[in-house]
Amino acid sequence: MTPTRKHLISLADLSDADLRHIVARGVEHAKGVAAGEPLSGTVLGVYFRKTSTRTRTAFSSAALRLGARIISYGPDDLQLNTGETIEDTGQVMARMLDGLVARTAGTTEELRALAAQNRMSVVNAMSAREHPTQALADLTTMAGHFGGIDGLRVLYLGEGNNTAAALALGLTRYPGTELHLRTPPGFGVDPEILVRAKHYAAQNGSLVEERHDMLDLPTPMDVVYTTRWQTTGTSKSDPDWRTLFAPFHVDESVLDTSPGAVFMHDLPAHRGEEVSAGVLDGPRSIAFDQAEAKLHSAKAVLEWCIG
Ligand SMILES: NC(=O)NCCC[C@H](N)C(=O)O
């Protein structure tokens, strides 16, 4: 009998209950719950066509710790590079693997094509549009740090990239949360994703709003979040983009608009660009706990899909 697998391509594919379950399970992993080896006997492909430090290491380590074996593919390894279609690649791999964690840096539709079979789970390890596993790790970090997510207020400063998009699709599932996005003009969150996030917000009594300036920053916030200015696989055609981005830099004066807030960053960081060294390396930064949460959250994702 052919098993049917679950995929994680977009957070919009997850019910509120599934999303909250994965986050809660990630928190249990962070606390060191005895997980055993539920993936024992499975083989997982880990395919990164684009650079990765955290996501690749987190999913590889999580898979191994849960008892899976992994096959790792770099950007030059698959016949995709010689013209094999993504659909054929998915069909073939599905006959040999139980799951595939893939960062293609292309469209989310590419990942849906890989997932157009029902034998192998596909996990989006970041597409141009969305970085779902990052948001799950971010929510795991918040839940662990604050003891819960309901009612948290988050200020996100910087490009409305794949990280921001996923955060909007995730945080809005929790009642009473607020996500204030301040993105440079012309570099906002994908409008379709924002519409979807506003829909979740309306359903859950939460809020998401986007502005393109740094005036009247909302306070008090629980979290101030930023992201680097160079999003993977993209280039900025506007030669003045740094001038547009500069006001969204996070330094002590920005963090101090909310004296109780912690600082988060999806990393990698460029000190002196999107964030000052004092903030990133300072006592209010939980950015490296957040990086560690990728491992705990990856375990929860793999258990949900494959375990
Ligand atoms: N934590 C990560 O997965 N970092 C990788 C880069 C994320 C960032 N949003 C980017 O697209 O460059």
The rounded average pLDDT for each run of 10 residues, N- to C-terminus, in the chain (307 residues) is: 80 98 98 97 97 97 98 96 96 98 89 95 96 98 98 98 98 98 97 98 98 98 97 85 97 98 98 98 98 98 96
Q: How far is the CA of 112 from the centre of ligand 1 (A)?
A: 20
Between the CA atoms of 286, 289, 290 and 294, what dihedral angle is there, to the nearest 10 degrees?
Answer: 180
Q: Is the complex ipTM more than 0.90?
A: yes
pTM above 0.90, yes or no: yes
Please tell me whether residue 71 adopts helix, strand or coil conformation.
strand
**Ligand 1 close to Cβ of residue 133 (< 6 A):** no
Residue closest via CA to ligand 1's atom 10 equals: 231
Closest among 76, 126, 164 to 294, alpha carbons compared: 126
> 209: which strand partners?
180
Q: How many other C-beta atoms can be found within 10 angstroms of the C-beta atom of residue 50? A: 16
Rounded Cα–Cα distance for residues 132 and 109 (Å): 14
**Ligand 1 close to Cβ of residue 162 (< 6 A):** yes
* Cα dihedral sign, 201-166-64-265: negative
Contact 127, 134 (CB under 8 A): no
Q: Give the residue, out of 48, 50, 57, 134, with the most ligand 1 atoms within 8 A of its beta carbon, to mutate for a pocket test.
A: 134
Rounded Cα–Cα distance for residues 16 and 4 (Å): 21
212: amino acid identity, one letter: H
- Residue 195 has a pLDDT of 98
Contact 210, 181 (CB under 8 A): yes
Rounded Cα–Cα distance for residues 90 and 88 (Å): 5
Atom in ligand 1 nearest the alpha carbon of residue 125: 3
Q: Give the residue, out of 131, 245, 275, with the most ligand 1 atoms within 8 A of its beta carbon, to mutate for a pocket test.
A: 131
- Helices marked H in 46-190 — which ranges? 54-65, 86-94, 108-114, 132-146, 162-171
Element (H, E) at 68: none
Q: How far is the CA of 120 from the centre of ligand 1 (A)?
A: 25
